[in-house]
Amino acid sequence: MGSAPLMVWAAHFFFCYVLVAAACTRQAGDATTVKWILAGVSVVAVVATVTMTWPALGRIVRNRPARGLADTARAVGGVLALIAMLWTSLPIFVLPMC
């Protein structure tokens, strides 16, 4: 499915912002702990997205018989999802927690 990498990003986005909102509302725990959890979730999301995107990119680059639009959609969606995950994670790690 071509939109699978974007769905991983959407889940990553939702989890990151819900966790930060919950941590800021309750003032629960240490901000460092929350940032480590967010870093772990971000790494898992990036690995999942790369795992889904890599075969499609390989077929497109090597001009092997591809599935056409499905490979292109997955490759473009994967690259967009990786950029979006970076954009989502950057403020969390650079700015103060609350």
pLDDT of residue 48: 94
pLDDT range class, residue 65, cuts 50, 70, 90: low
pLDDT range class, residue 4, cuts 50, 70, 90: confident
Q: Output 2 or 78, whichever has higher pLDDT.
A: 78
The residues, any chain, with a CB within 8 Å of residue 81's CB and separated by 6 or more, are 5, 6, 8, 9, 49, 53
Average pLDDT value for residue range 79-91:
89
Extents of the domains making up the chain: 4-94
For the ranges 3-7, 25-29, 40-44, 75-79, the lowest mean pLDDT is seen at 25-29
pLDDT range class, residue 66, cuts 50, 70, 90: low
